[in-house]
Amino acid sequence: MILEILKTVLYGLVEGITEWLPISSTGHLILLENFIHLKVDNPGAFMEMFNVVIQLGAILAVIVLFFRKLNPFTPSKSVAEKKSTWDLWFKVIVGVLPSAIIGFLLDDWMDAHLYNYVVVAIMLILYGIAFLFVEQLNKRRAVKIKDVSEISYRTAIFIGLFQCLALIPGTSRSGATILGAILLGVSRSAGAEFSFFLAIPTMVGASGLKFLDFLTESTLGGTEIVLLATGCLVSFLVSLLVIKSLMEYVRKHSFAAFGYYRIILGAVVLLYFLMK
């Protein structure tokens, strides 16, 4: 039991770090599963649910860190600030709709056909190259939107369309949305922040569906509950640190480093499994 808990700590660490960095949390978790296996009943169904549900811990970190900004009922806010907060939430909902619809329609098909190391490795490399290209392009372009409050409904839905790309494992939800935001003239910090907000309904919905699917076919025992709780807690604590660090980083640096990381990791993954 202790060994299994330690394994979930590692899963929580990986989720908490990779969910917010543009390097694909799903891709990293799929790769991690090839090396570290949890000993539970019905492991295939449990891991499919576990990998999504531990994202709730990561999402809770966003809610805690941005609670005042996201809470329209904060007493200290003026009427105008409360209106602006509601406006932000409506933009988030608009941005979530494209991936919610496509994900609902194609979820089972993508689980069956795309969740493998080849797809993950290719997406890591392709989007690594895309980050390098966009950052070079961005050097010659002026930023039009410097704060998340300046994002329009039109821009929100286009960022949401970019989020659809993240339905392919190895892409990175934050990577796709931040890349899209930059291409639309949004600053790195505002793009990253809006990406965090989009994650709340996106990941809560996905986690809820996976959890319900699992419960219709299996039951959660005491061991499974402990493993889920541990993964969520670790993911939450690590996410708190990562989100703060990333927001500081993007104010001073480009995403080029993540592009190089993705390319190197993707190449290593392909070589490893081809040699294996």
Least reliable range by pLDDT among 11-20, 221-230, 236-245:
221-230
Distance, C-alpha 22 to centroid of its chain: 8
The pTM of the full predicted model, rounded to 2 decimals, is 0.88
The residue written with tokens 């295939």 in the block is: 44
- Would you state the pLDDT for residue 159? 97
Do residues 226 and 39 touch, judged by C-beta distance below 8 A?
Answer: no
Q: Do residues 20 and 200 touch, judged by C-beta distance below 8 A?
A: no
Instruction: Provide the 3-class DSSP secondary structure of residue 198.
Output: helix
User: What confidence tens digit (pLDDT) does each residue in 171-230 have?
Assistant: 999 999 999 999 999 999 999 999 999 999 988 887 777 777 777 777 777 888 899 999
Nearest to 85 by CA among 70, 101, 97: 70
Q: Per-residue pLDDT for 6 more than 90?
A: yes
DSSP characters for 122-144?
A: HHHHHHHHHHHHHHHHHTTS--S
Q: Are the beta carbons of 198 and 66 closer than 8 angstroms? A: no
Classify the phi-psi angles of 185: left when phi > 0, otherwise alpha if psi is within -120 to 50, otherwise beta.
Answer: left
- Is residue 10 predicted with pLDDT exceeding 80? yes
Please give the Cα distance from 158 to 172 (Å, whole number).
17
Residues pairing with 70 in the sheet: none
- 162: its two tokens: 């970019």
Helix-strand-coil split of the chain, %, nearest 5 = 80, 0, 20
DSSP calls for the chain:
-HHHHHHHHHHHHHHHHHTTTTT-HHHHHHHHHTT-----SSHHHHHHHHHHHTHHHHHHHHHHHTHHHH-TT-TTS-HHHHHHHHHHHHHHHHHHHHHHHHHHHHHHHHHHHT-SHHHHHHHHHHHHHHHHHHHHHHTTS--SB-SGGG--HHHHHHHHHHHHGGGSTTS-HHHHHHHHHHHTTB-HHHHHHHHHHHHHHHHHHHHHHHHHHHHHH----HHHHHHHHHHHHHHHHHHHHHHHHHHHHHHH--SHHHHHHHHHHHHHHHHHHHH-
What is the mean predicted confidence (pLDDT) over 63-89?
Answer: 94
pLDDT in tens, 113-164: 888 888 999 999 999 999 999 888 887 778 899 999 999 999 999 999 999 9
Say how many C-beta atoms besides its own lie within 10 A of residue 266's C-beta: 24
| The pLDDT value given to residue 96 | 95
